[in-house]
């Protein structure tokens, strides 16, 4: 998963031609660390269909505020620059697929 911040968020996420699943997390967040392998696996599975990106809320609090992220991990699916789906907290692989698949 590629890391994005305010310098490249517009181009990499909002202007992307494909849906983008953005994980808002932090290095100290244990649930975020537990989800990383699942997200890496889904990134490979959805290659060419959905881009997966991550934002470190400690390094980029402005993006977290912009998207009203109140807890980590929070995953937001954006398509055409618009929020389509939001998942908050530790999620199972199956739940992520269930919520994201309709937008692929």
What positions carry a catalytic annotation? Answer: 29, 32
Q: Report how far residue 19's alpha carbon sits from residue 13's, in angstroms, rounded to the nearest whole number.
A: 8
Q: Using CA atoms of 43, 74, 76, 104 in order, give the dihedral in degrees to the nearest 10.
A: 40
Phi and psi torsions of 85, nearest 5°: -155, 150
Residue 78 DSSP code = E
CB 53 within 8 A of CB 71: no
């Amino acid at each position: 998963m590629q890391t994005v911040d305010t310098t490249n968020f517009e181009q990499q996420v909002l202007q992307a031609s494909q849906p983008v699943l953005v994980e808002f997390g932090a290095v100290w967040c244990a649930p975020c660390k537990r989800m990383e392998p699942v997200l890496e696996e889904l990134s490979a599975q959805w290659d060419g269909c959905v881009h997966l990106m991550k934002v470190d809320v400690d390094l980029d609090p402005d993006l977290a505020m912009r998207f009203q992220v109140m807890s980590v991990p929070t995953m937001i699916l954006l398509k055409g620059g618009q929020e389509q789906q939001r998942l908050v907290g530790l999620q199972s692989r199956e739940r992520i697929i269930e919520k994201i698949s309709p937008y692929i």
